[in-house]
């Protein structure tokens, strides 16, 4: 039985194929990050909700809650429709997961800490006032977090771990 012929791929074809794989991966990663409009939308809804709750007026609280629920649902549906495929958690890795958790914890700690401090000082609507820098943090930090996650995902080896 004759030995099998080894197929040789010219280096230029291998380079082109690898470049195509990298381009496709960048396209998939970019298609699945949270879009920029999500951050200001979420920040605005949070401000609306907290202000409504702090008003203490029953109908304002109810209306604000309904608007928040429907608004956030619409944002999430928009994000889900924006994403054409789902990114596997392994692609984000530990660094990406820690970045997401750190971002969320930083914003929560800043908002809660500032809110309690403002309440102790007797500032009216302390939670709403404390949420303003948190909302700005979402608007500015959210896209930066997405850029970081994109870099993390694109830096992962093509073959996985």
Structural domain boundaries enclosing 90:
21-155
**Domain count of the chain?**
1
Q: Is residue 117 part of a domain?
A: yes
pLDDT at res. 106: 97
Query: Is 50 inside a domain boundary?
Result: yes
**In this structure, is residue 14 part of a structural domain?**
no
Q: Is residue 5 part of a domain?
A: no
The helix (run of H) or strand (run of E) holding residue 148 is helix 126-155
In a domain, 44, yes or no: yes
- As a whole number, the mean pLDDT across the chain is 85
pLDDT above 70 covers a percentage of the chain that reads 78
pLDDT tens-place string over residues 20-34: 766 776 666 665 578
User: Tens digits of per-residue pLDDT, 120-134?
Assistant: 999 999 999 999 999
The answer to whether residue 11 sits within a structural domain is no
Tens digits of per-residue pLDDT, 53-76?
A: 999 999 999 999 999 999 999 999
pTM, entire model: 0.76
In this structure, the chain runs to a length of 161
In this structure, is residue 35 part of a structural domain? yes
Q: What angle do CA 71, 72, 74 make, to 5 degrees?
A: 65
Residue 2 lies in a domain: no
């Amino acid at each position: 039985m004759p030995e099998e012929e080894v197929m040789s791929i010219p280096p230029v074809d291998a380079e082109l194929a690898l470049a195509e794989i990298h381009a496709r991966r960048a396209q998939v990663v970019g298609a699945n990050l949270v879009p920029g409009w999500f951050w200001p939308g979420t920040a605005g809804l949070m401000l609306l909700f907290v202000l409504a709750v702090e008003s203490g007026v029953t109908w304002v609280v109810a209306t604000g809650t309904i608007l928040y629920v429907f608004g956030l649902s619409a944002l999430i549906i928009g994000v889900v429709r924006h994403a054409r495929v789902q990114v596997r958690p392994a692609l984000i890795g530990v660094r990406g997961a820690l970045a997401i958790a750190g971002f969320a914890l930083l914003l929560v700690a800043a908002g809660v800490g500032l809110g309690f401090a403002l309440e102790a000082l007797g500032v009216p609507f302390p939670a709403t006032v404390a949420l303003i820098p948190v909302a700005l943090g979402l608007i500015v930090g959210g896209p930066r977090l997405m850029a970081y996650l994109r870099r993390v995902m694109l830096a992962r080896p093509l073959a996985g771990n």
